[in-house]
A and B are shown apart, each in its own frame.
Chain A
């Protein structure tokens, strides 16, 4: 036993190790990534951990392991579950032997995601139990409960932390050791083969089991009912919102009955009925969709309870975004019939906006600029389809090189659809190396097979950068610490019958522009692979500096590439911040008067 300062994702990881997890797979995605990384770091020698190429592969790897009786964990972010939904929906019918936990991190806000989708709905849709921790302390223990319930009821379960759980830290008591369990091994049986007749029978079985589990969860220690009878008012909350409700009530000292739900599905109806007994009004505090609120409304309807439910449907709580003290406090104040406490919101002097940007020295800046320059020189109308990763930041001015971004892998396929309707335009798709392996390859095959004239730019920086530099098939490293044979992107493309494959260094501007010009001129599918590692993978090259007596103050370096290391002095000259510059040398290739050069050490 020791008290440690742990990030939520680390707490979940140590909780999974404590539960004796045997096989862990996943695909990186904020805010879920550190769970798998922490297990890889602290695992028992016989625990297997991998970054899979995508969430569907990860889900199936974990399911296979769980079929043997091993305990398996698969991790992803909420949009990753969309990719993995095919195996999950079927797996819900088939079930598992060893405990299988599907960790899906939701991102209210969203802080770093395309959508604010609510995985609790996915759990309802797939008829799977879902665990929703209210605190980091709970998360550490709850993941073990999730394995136990999965194993006991032979069903995969979803574990759904949110950003404020995943990326917060707390001092947590960590226990040594781990649970031991026997792994029987895979036993051949017809129950593992999904067929229509079996699915019909299993459908009935899992719906009946949902009812049973709802009752079981009514006695679950993490669904916390505060039994007080001196009030007709109640607050129902779930996940991290429960922590805000507690903090608000500690300040307001309101006399209300509270129920905190850690298992939104199957909803613990018996416990909720006990909570509702004698109440006239209930405020529901949750993030994203009104999942608990709907469950409560349904329960009141079925039991003819005259309880007024306040929440999302009555627009008394947030429609979107994360919960914080202020909005929960305001909702509680209104619910209690008070004027909402209004925190002072001082009028501040004007502030510069500071959106995230490509790092100084990022090779993607060179790639985008080369494509932009090539199209400008050709006076060629072009649409640039983007994808998910650091390079989505190529949308910012002055580069302005991302015209679309939808989901993982969509750049290559959407370019094809755009080109079908607008064949006179060039369609250039940008995809990172990890995203290429994730869902990019089928799009390339689709383009080749259907003879589409598009150009794909592969931004190969030798890592999965946005989520914190995870390895992928092109890196030749695995999460078990092994070196493996690299999967070469150019060979994959050649195997897909791509006839025009060019490679260039994106930081050598003219070389890069030539490669793009030639590829775009090629009729059919063409690819440029820009190979240059992410700056996080190596030490800075010699930094650059501006010679102020040579600089003519034309601002070309700033207006063309928008490097965060370059600013303008009061005298109107360019200035390079030596702390940020990584010596990529792109600016010196753009400066019309040669004012930028290597700095003397």
Chain B
């Protein structure tokens, strides 16, 4: 199989860990080749960042072609939309609908959340909106949106792994002192409807 997946967010939201966990699970659970490509450097200071994951064997350059991604995991609505051109025609976006207002917006640049969300809902093959703030509160930390979104993606069948397969990767590759928190975050994301995170 081949699958391209793009993670879009704001520097500091943990897109890098999420893309590594997806790639690692593809290797460990499915025995597939995996490539990722991440924004590292100045943009990590609160700027727009993306992580790209490419699963499967065959010729594979670091970056996904426009219109090539089966899935966009949007950690933030505007960043999901910014990367929308990478989505395949019938692709899926899974988006945390709680915005992070950039300083430019607060200074008067504005932030058209309604327009952003309605565009995603209309234009994506499938669009799942979740309330990231609420899910983070349920998980007990504002820093685990990345693993929460992985949980939801697995639940919705957007990633080619089972719950157990991704949890096994978490156990093996996340530092021990954060394993419990991340396991909880994954479960909250997996049962996101129960936590009232669906919109």
User: How far apart sit A30 and B44, CA to CA, in the bound complex (Å)?
Assistant: 12
The answer to the question of A590 belonging to the interface, with a C-beta cut-off of 8 Å to chain B, is no
Most chain A C-beta atoms within 10 Å of own C-beta, residue among B34, B62, B116 = B62
Bound form: Cα–Cα A356–B68 in Å? 27
| Interface 9-mer from A82-90, A292-300, A391-399 | A391-399
Most buried by A among B24, B39, B104, B106: B106
Chain B residues with CB below 8 A from A393, complex form: 42, 45
Residues of B within 8 A of A183 (CB): none
Question: Which of B19, B84, B104, B143 is close to A355, meaning CB atoms less than 8 Å apart?
Answer: B104
A401 CB to nearest chain B CB (Å): 14
CA of A252 to CA of B70, assembled, Å: 21
CA distance A396 to B48 in the complex (A): 15
* CB of B139 to closest CB in A, whole Å: 12
Question: Across the two chains, which residue of chain B brings its CB closest to A357?
Answer: B46
A5 and B20 in contact (CB under 8 A), knowing A111-B42, A351-B78?
yes
CA distance A152 to B78 in the complex (A): 54
Partner of A326, one of B37, B66, B111, B115: B66
Flag whether A358 is at the interface (Cβ < 8 A): yes
Cross-interface CB contact of B104 among A352, A392, A568, cutoff 8 Å: A352
Q: A351-B81, A354-B48, A356-B44 are in contact. Are A325 and B115 (CB under 8 A)?
A: no
Q: Is B79 an interface residue (CB 8 A)?
A: yes
Hey, which chain A residues are within 8 Å of B84, CB to CB?
346, 348
Chain B residues within an 8 Å CB radius of A350: 110, 112, 115
Chain B residues near A580: list those with CB within 8 A.
12
What chain A residues lie within 8 Å of B116 (beta carbons)?
349, 351
Asked whether, in the complex, the Cβ of A398 is within 8 Å of the Cβ of B61, the reply is no
Whether, in the assembled complex, A171 has its beta carbon less than 8 Å from a beta carbon of chain B, the answer is: yes
Interface mask (B1-40 → A, CB under 8 Å = 1, otherwise 0): 0000000001110000001100110010000011111111
B60 at interface by CB-CB < 8 Å: yes
Indicate if B103 sits at the interface (CB-CB under 8 A). yes
B66 touches A343 (CB 8 A): yes
Query: Residue A548 at the B interface, CB < 8 A?
Result: no
Contact, CB under 8 Å: A353 / B39: no
B31's nearest neighbour on chain A, judged by CB, is A3
B119 and A353 contact, CB distance less than 8 A? no
Bound CA–CA A351/B10 (angstroms): 14
Interface locus among A306-314, A471-479, A558-566: A558-566
- Compute how far the CA of A359 lies from the CA of B103 in the bound complex, rounded to whole angstroms: 11
Docked-complex contact B119 and A247, CB < 8 angstroms? no
Among B62, B82, B106, the residue within 8 A (CB) of A351 is: B82
A337-378 contacts to B (CB < 8 Å) = 343-346, 348-359
**What residues on B are CB-neighbors of A343 within 8 Å?**
65-67, 85
- A250 to B68 Cα, complex, angstroms: 14
Selected from A30, A325, A579, the residue in CB contact (under 8 A) with B61 is A325
How far, in Å, is B115 (CB) from chain A's closest CB?
4
- The answer to whether A324 touches B45 (Cβ under 8 A) is no
Q: How far is the CA of A10 from the CA of B84 in the complex (A)?
A: 31
CB distance from A234 to the nearest CB of B (A): 18
Least CB distance from A354 to B in Å reads: 4
In the complex, the chain B residue whose C-beta lies closest to that of A398 is: B107
Instruction: Kindly list chain A residues whose C-beta atoms are within 8 Å of the C-beta of B127.
Output: none
B65 in contact with A326 (CB, 8 Å)? yes
**Residue pair B106, A568 in contact (C-beta under 8 Å):** yes
CB of A240 within 8 Å of the partner chain: yes
Complex Cα distance, B104 from A351, in Å, reads: 11
A residues within 8 A CB of B67?
343-344
| Set of chain B residues within 8 Å of A564, measured between Cβ atoms | 46, 100, 102-103
Q: State whether B43 touches A111 (Cβ < 8 A).
A: yes
CB–CB A562/B107 < 8 A: yes
Q: Given A352-B105, A354-B10, are A31 and B33 also a contact pair (CB < 8 Å)?
A: no
Q: Which of A164, A250, A568 contacts B37 (CB 8 A)?
A: A164
- Please report the C-alpha to C-alpha distance between residue A136 and residue B115 in the assembled complex, in whole angstroms: 40
B79 to chain A: which residues have CB within 8 Å?
Answer: 354
Complex contact A168–B105 (CB within 8 A): no
Smallest Cβ distance from A303 to chain B, in angstroms? 32
Query: Is the beta-carbon distance between B82 and A324 smaller than 8 angstroms?
Result: no
Q: Smallest CB–CB gap between B134 and chain A, Å?
A: 13
Does B63 belong to the interface (CB within 8 Å)?
yes
On whether the beta carbons of B142 and A356 are closer than 8 Å, the reply is: no
Contact among A165, A351, A356 for B42, CB-based, below 8 A: A356
The reply to whether B42 and A354 form a contact with Cβ atoms under 8 Å apart is no
- Inter-chain contact A168/B44, CB cutoff 8 Å: no
**Smallest CB gap from B43: residue in A:** A356
**CB neighbours of B110 from chain A (8 A):** 350, 352
Contact call B47/A355, Cβ cutoff below 8 A: yes
Q: Which of B19, B46, B116, B143 gathers most chain A CB within 10 Å? A: B46
Which residues of B, 95-142, contact A by the 8 Å Cβ criterion?
Answer: 100-107, 109-112, 115-116, 119, 123, 136, 142
- B 47-83 binary contact with A (CB < 8 Å = 1; else 0): 1100000000011111111111000000000110110
Q: Is the CB of A168 within 8 A of B35?
A: yes
Residues of A within 8 A of B102 (CB): 352-355, 357, 564
Partner of B81, one of A165, A349, A356, A578: A349
Are A346 and B123 in touch, CB under 8 angstroms? yes
CA separation between A30 and B100, bound complex, in Å? Answer: 26
Please list the 3 inter-chain residue pairs (A to B) with the smallest Cβ-Cβ separation, ordered nearest first.
Answer: A112-B41, A579-B142, A356-B47
Write 24 A-B pairs (CB below 8 A) sorted by A numbering: A5-B24, A5-B34, A111-B43, A164-B63, A165-B62, A167-B37, A167-B38, A169-B20, A170-B35, A243-B61, A344-B66, A351-B78, A352-B111, A354-B102, A355-B47, A356-B11, A356-B47, A390-B45, A397-B103, A397-B104, A562-B107, A577-B100, A578-B142, A579-B143
Q: A171-B23, A325-B65 are in contact. List 14 more A-B contacts (CB 8 A).
A: A5-B24, A5-B27, A30-B41, A30-B42, A111-B42, A169-B34, A169-B36, A325-B61, A343-B85, A346-B85, A356-B45, A558-B103, A567-B101, A578-B142
- Chain A residues packing against B (C-beta within 8 Å): 3, 5, 30-31, 111-112, 136, 164-165, 167-171, 240, 243-244, 246-247, 249-250, 324-326, 329, 343-346, 348-359, 390, 392-393, 396-398, 466, 558-559, 562-564, 566-568, 577-580
